[in-house]
């Protein structure tokens, strides 16, 4: 569990999610601290990506979805009717498994979000683009080709462009849904280093299938199985002394 002194940014309370008759998340309750990396692990289809997408209401876009319980973000229930979903997704950004830059220039990819939110001043946009690319550790690689298509970059570079695009609207939280699973080891390493650097300014919540990645870079780990949260706590403790036999079996490779 979280250290009592840590600021809690997101808390789920008895969260249940149904896709039609499929009960995909079952009574999920835990607290995610600010400015830490929290890893969500578990076998395919266990609910970890579904849970991640409840945090910025991406599941609202799925037909037939029903959600019960609460997800609190800075003390406010994000499923309240009063919540502005567009604003919520600005505060809780997301980077997907497959890099998905827009078919436009690198500059326009990063400026897209700020422009959507009303930023028109070119000097201000220039500043946001440079800052976001620097924060995503890719400025030096692309600063001389900002007007070239983002689709001409390598997979690892495209993923960092997508991270920069998410950071450009100044979120509090960055959700990463298996953001390195399609990348080579060198690109994966760069994004892991980037995530560790970003946590001084952002809260990072990441779904990963890679046990070693969770162990290397996360502060806390949540283990999901068949839609349930089996165990949650400090990563080093969970990997060295799991309290549930199912967690031990998964992280030692006995199943999954």
Give the model confidence (pLDDT) of 158-174 as tens digits. 999 999 999 999 999 99
Mean pLDDT (the chain, rounded): 94
pTM score of the predicted model: 0.94
Q: What pLDDT, on the 0 to 100 scale, is given for residue 101?
A: 96
**In Å, what is the CA distance from 248 to each residue of 93, 116, 205, 239, 256?**
32, 46, 22, 8, 12
Higher pLDDT, 256 or 179: 179
Q: What pLDDT, on the 0 to 100 scale, is given for residue 3?
A: 60
Residue 253 has pLDDT above 90, yes or no: no
Q: What pLDDT, on the 0 to 100 scale, is given for residue 57?
A: 96
């Amino acid at each position: 569990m979280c250290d009592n002194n840590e600021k809690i940014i997101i808390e789920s309370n008895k969260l249940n999610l149904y896709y039609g008759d499929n009960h995909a998340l079952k009574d999920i309750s835990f607290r995610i601290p600010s400015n830490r990396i929290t890893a969500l692990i578990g076998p395919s289809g266990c609910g970890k990506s579904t849970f991640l997408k409840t945090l910025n209401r991406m599941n609202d876009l799925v037909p037939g979805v029903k959600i019960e319980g609460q997800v609190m973000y800075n003390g406010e229930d994000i499923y309240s009717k009063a919540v502005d979903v567009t604003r919520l997704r600005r505060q809780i950004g997301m980077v997907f498994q497959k890099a998905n830059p827009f078919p436009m220039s690198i500059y326009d990819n990063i400026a897209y979000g700020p422009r959507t939110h009303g930023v028109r001043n070119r000097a201000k946009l220039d500043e946001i683009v440079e800052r976001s690319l620097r924060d995503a550790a890719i400025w030096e690689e692309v600063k001389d080709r900002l007007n070239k298509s983002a689709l001409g970059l390598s997979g690892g570079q495209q993923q960092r462009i997508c991270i920069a695009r998410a950071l450009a609207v100044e979120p509090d939280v960055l959700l990463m849904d298996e953001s390195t699973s399609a990348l080579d080891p060198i690109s994966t390493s760069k994004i892991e280093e980037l995530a560790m650097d970003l946590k001084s300014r952002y809260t990072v919540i990441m779904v990963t299938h890679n046990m070693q990645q969770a162990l290397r870079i996360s502060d806390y780990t949540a283990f999901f199985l068949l839609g349930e949260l089996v165990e949650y706590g400090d990563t080093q403790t969970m990997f060295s002394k799991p309290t549930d036999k199912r967690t031990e079996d998964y992280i030692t490779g006995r199943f999954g």
